[in-house]
Amino acid sequence: MLAASVLVLSACGDDGDDKDDTDNAGGSDTSPSAEPKGDGTLTFGTLLPATGDLAFLGPPEFAGVTLAVQDINEAGGVLGKDVVEVKGDSGDGTPDIAGAQVDKLLAASSDVIVGAASSGVSITVIDKITGAGAVQFSPANTAAGFDTDEIDPNRLYFRTAPSDYLQGEVLANEVIKDGFDNVAIMGRQDFYGEGLAERTRDVLEEKGATVGEFILYNKDATGFTAEINKLAAAEPEAIVLVSFAETTTIIPQLIAKGLGPQDVQLYFVDGNLSNYPDEDFDLTGVKGTAPTSATPDAEFEARLFETPPMGPDDAVLYGPESYDAVIMSALAAIAAGDDSGEAIGANIVDISREGTKCTTFADCKALLEEGEDIDYDGKSGPADMTDTGSLAAGTYGVYEYGDGNAYEQIDTVSGVVPQGE
């Protein structure tokens, strides 16, 4: 059973005439008289983690894309043709696997590149992707830094994961609700980790808690002795750990210093919220946060598990968001009458809000072909986007680890994402 609660944050504004603003977002003319610039076949490239620190997120993300492509083609495709999927591996940024993979995906005529999962990887390839006129649509980027216009002057970047401005608020409020006052934060020093750690710290302090130690570590570090010695000196009641796969190295060192899960309350985030069945340490009682669907769809999740490369031990994390990124791009191409990246990018925001509600590709496609404006709500929840291509609101789950180092959702928190931050 999930306990539901609603967290309302700062209100976000909405321009009155959204269609006028968004039609030119990608810099292309998508009026009926405009000559289509696409090649007639909508091609999706996937820049998702088959290897690297976030490889545990790969199976649901790849499966979400494949399932969306299947549903689109079963409903007649886009502009009279089946859509195509070309797979790539985002790696983890060291070495630059992602850059070479982007070259491959662009050479394969990808109109939309779904990914990367890592915000730090996405920021390294965004100029290459959007500069080539392709859409970059991430299902998992949560870094708050993507909310600014300066990140993508081409206006071709979008994401279906809610900003860390919301995750930091949800996480900090969970710490406060659990009654902890002296908190330490240890996070990766990269585009993702720094922003989330700082947001969590700021909200904790706003709520009256003390952040006794705030540590950002080198993302390529293999040892953490100095950092954990500082944590021990602060004698925290709780520790927020903003990390990736290095979690498996950090936890034993925390345990050795009397800061393990049975000594202090630990909190994870989406970057390290994974099942750890093969590890010797015990995570029982550790909590964490990650995006989740506002209205989970059991039938969809069952289909996701039947779609390779999903396995029975995989979580569905970012599978729905991957599915929605593909469906929204396809609907934007239909709205534009053009499968080019620029045309798709100019219509994604518009099909996400202020129209006739629809929740499946087939239904939304039928409405568009009848000349209707649509408001797509997807498998991950309401998809209303701001003008910068980020969700206006989102939902985060609160999770807790139990037997076998497996986690379960214990709460759901929805909120409006502050804008202009």
Q: What are phi and psi of 401, to 5 degrees?
A: -85, 145
* Cis-peptide, bond into residue 309, ω within 30° of zero: yes
Name the token pair of 250.
């950090």
pLDDT average, residue stretch 373-382: 96
Is the model's pLDDT at 421 over the cut of 70?
A: no
Q: How far apart are CA 363 and CA 413, in angstroms?
A: 29
pLDDT average, residue stretch 27-34: 44
Split at pLDDT 50, 70, 90, the class of 351 is very high
Q: What angle do CA 278, 292, 324 make, to 5 degrees?
A: 110
Q: Worst-scoring range by mean pLDDT, 10-14, 65-69, 322-326, 399-403?
A: 10-14
List for the chain the helix, strand, coil content (%; round to 5): 35, 20, 45
Is the model's pLDDT at 92 over the cut of 60?
A: yes
pLDDT average, residue stretch 237-255: 97
